[in-house]
Chain A
Amino acid sequence: MSRTIRALTALCGTAALFAVAACGTESDVPESAGGSAQPDEGTECAGADGEYLIGMSQANVAEPYRQQMDDDIEAAAAEVDQFEVVFADAAQDNAKQVADVENFLTQGIDLLIISPNEAAPLTAVVERAYNEGIPVIVLDRKIEGDSYTQFIGADNTEIGRAAGEYVATELLPDGGSVVELKGLPGSTPAQERADGFRAGIAANPNIEIIAEGVGDWLREKGQSQFEAILQAQQAIDVVYAHNDPMAEGAYLAAQAASRQSEMSFIGIDALPIPSGGIKAVEEGRLSATFVYPTGGKEAIATAEEILVQCAEVDKEQILETELITVENAAEIYARNATQ
């Protein structure tokens, strides 16, 4: 008897969601018909008089770089009176990020900023937003197709080349031995930072990459890999790591072997946080690092152009890197830090 009731209740629970949804659907028909016409209405720009809700869908704030991206967006948006930004974190889960974007659409956002966890799984939902007439700014990682308003990102090959040229002209003008610590194999940034670096040092034929280690982007992995390389290599002039944490790990390994003064360490990312690369340069552990910009500030600037100034924007915005050395570290830190 009670089992019947229980089963019915559960069915009703599920059915209720469907039913309530179905009822709503009928009354919604005219509205959703209006919604499909929105791409046209989207061109009606309310400009500076409007109030705008911006949704920022982040792939994974557990990575400091992505937390920084959110912080940059928050700081930049605080300067724009008309903007309110809401954040969602997918914690590296594609399905969660799809649901996050859906929830944004339910909330009625006016503009979507997304840094996708992966391209293919998120393309469909981003397309849906775009087709509903919502401007979409894609940050750092692309999606498939062209259903977005602007892509903002840095060129990892260019950053690698800048690092290579810095080594070739500033650190080792007379040539020398370089050890490379790579990011996660198979990841695009790792490949591009490696390729760019080789192009950058090509100008100086006396520079040789004598060893490569795989640090998977991780500080501890960079440390253990470089420990092994230190055993094998007697003469090392420069350590080039694909990111700052691995460069720091290598420094720790060299320090343990009391060889840190024999060589220079350079990294990439230059996050303006206490544990980031800029501080490491300022405090003398790294010789240089290259800014991998988050694009957060630029995303809000683009949003302002689209929503407030009612302007057209370019499909792509490639961000420049910046060399951080001990001379400018403190200044850049103060400029880039959000807190």
Chain B
Amino acid sequence: MTVDTTDPVEKPVEQSRRRRFVIPERFFTFQSYVALILVFLAAIIFSPRRNGEIVFLNSENLLNIVRAVSEIGILAIGMTFVILIAGIDLSVGAILGLAATGTASLLMVNDFGVAMTVLIILAIGMAFGATQGYLSARLGIQAFIVTLAGLQVARGLARIWSGGQGIALAYGDGPDVAPQAFSLLNSRTFNGTVPIPALIFAGVGVIALIVVRKTVFARHVYAIGGNERAARLSGIPVTRIKVTVFAISGLLAALAGIIHAGQLNQGSPNDGMGYELDAIAAVVIGGTSLMGGVGTVSGTLAGALLLGILNNILALNNIDSNVQLLIKGVIIVAAAGIQAFRSQQK
């Protein structure tokens, strides 16, 4: 009892800081939103104008942006959970291709209904992800390796499924065509304004935000990423959570694949090539640490939108596509650099 009085208030832990200037922690928390707002403002400033109208702010253009990032955005949401447990999922682009191919094949070749097709494809994606999660969590193979292998397997399966060719979708009633209902994915709702894929993306985003805020599962994900041993010693079912996380990533990749097939009227085994890297970029820009345990779904959403706006404004200004790649690279490095700076400051 006598000891308590010596130290009434917790003193900040002594730290070794060599740097003079210190960026307030608050900035990091909002890093991706600050960046999103800056890019949004920059886009308005640099937007071409036509008849006094700012082309970038044109409603159709803004909705096009959300539509264009919907697939990457959905992949990135799944990727966020994977990266939060200090994993990585390189297979999502390939699973997207497999799902797109499978969707087209089931609809056109097997004459399955839309509901049946969607269920089967989502189940395949989930099972694929869960298998990768199991191999990584149980056998202790690094996620990078497991999903690198998964990438090859998914591409191979897609090629075998379709005979190596893309399968084009045609709509109508009767055999050898897809049900008209599936073409909804390539349409717009609310008087033909809001693209359906954008709505699905928004829906997945809201669900993910709720899951992160409200479920025990999400807390377990953060704990495993932050300190796996401590999580295990706290009775968290580490293997089950990891398998679930990869299953979610696979499921969302399959969902993105279904959307992909619907948007492009085709499923091809080469679809989604390199999408995993864009998804990882969105997550990193969103402030999620590749070391695990730190990050937010909301940041990822901001990161995905940021990439979309960036692509759009560069295209609207007819910036050479090679330069676009450079600018994207710089932004990713900047986002990661800010994170590195943050952990140095700690």
Contacts and interface: CB of A to CB of B under 8 A. Distances in A.
A–B contact with Cβ pairs below 8 Å: the answer is yes
B205 A14 contact: yes
A99 to B, nearest CB: 5
B59 A13 contact: no
A11 B57 contact: no
A24 B55 CA distance: 11
Interface string A14-57: 10011011111100100010000000000000000000000000
B86 to A, nearest CB: 21
Interface stretch (A100-108, A150-158, A159-167, A331-339): A100-108
A17 B65 contact: yes
**Which of A6, A7, A23 lies at the interface centre, i.e. has the most chain B CB atoms within 10 A of its CB?**
A6
A25 to B, nearest CB: 4
A95 interface: yes
B36 interface: yes
Contact of A91 (B50, B297, B321): B321
B312 interface: yes
Given A86-B318, A93-B273, A121-B264, A25 B59 contact: yes
Contact of A186 (B36, B164, B212, B268): B164
A84 to B, nearest CB: 10
Contacts, number: 147
Contacts of A28: 58-60
A14 B59 contact: no
B146 interface: no
B299 A10 contact: yes
Given A9-B33, A14-B205, A121 B265 contact: yes
Contacts of A32: 60
Contacts of B321: 61, 88-89, 91
A106 B193 contact: no
A268 B263 CA distance: 36
B332 interface: no
A294 B168 CA distance: 26
Given A13-B36, A103-B315, A108-B50, A118 B268 contact: yes
A2 interface: yes
B59 A99 contact: no
Contacts of B341: none
Interface residues of A, number: 46
Contact of B59 (A10, A23, A119): A23
Q: Tell me the interface secondary structure of chain B in the complex.
A: helix
Contact of A124 (B63, B186, B311): B186
B298 A9 contact: yes
Contacts of A7: 209, 212-213, 296, 298
B58 A121 contact: no
Given A14-B202, A18-B202, A103-B316, A118 B61 contact: no
Interface string B301-328: 1100100000110011010110000000
Interface string B165-199: 11011000000000000000010001101100010
A107 B48 contact: yes
A94 interface: yes
B164 A123 contact: no
Contacts of B299: 6, 10
Contacts of A20: 57, 59, 62
B59 A24 contact: yes
Given A7-B213, A11-B206, A88-B321, A119 B271 contact: no
Contact of B296 (A10, A61, A93): A10
A94 B266 contact: yes
B66 A17 contact: yes
A92 B260 CA distance: 15
A144 interface: yes
A186 B312 contact: no
Given A3-B213, A22-B59, A118-B266, A99 B64 contact: yes
A247 interface: no
B265 A123 contact: yes
B190 to A, nearest CB: 8
B71 interface: yes
A144 B168 contact: yes
B298 A98 contact: no
Interface in B40-59: 48, 50, 55, 57-59
A100 B209 CA distance: 31
Given A99-B315, A106-B61, 18 more contacts: A6-B33, A7-B213, A10-B205, A11-B205, A13-B301, A13-B305, A14-B202, A14-B205, A14-B305, A17-B305, A24-B58, A24-B60, A24-B62, A28-B60, A100-B315, A106-B316, A120-B265, A120-B266
27 contacts: A3-B213, A3-B296, A6-B30, A6-B296, A10-B205, A10-B296, A10-B297, A10-B298, A11-B205, A14-B202, A17-B63, A21-B59, A21-B60, A25-B191, A86-B318, A88-B321, A89-B321, A95-B71, A98-B263, A99-B311, A106-B55, A106-B58, A107-B50, A107-B316, A120-B168, A120-B265, A121-B266
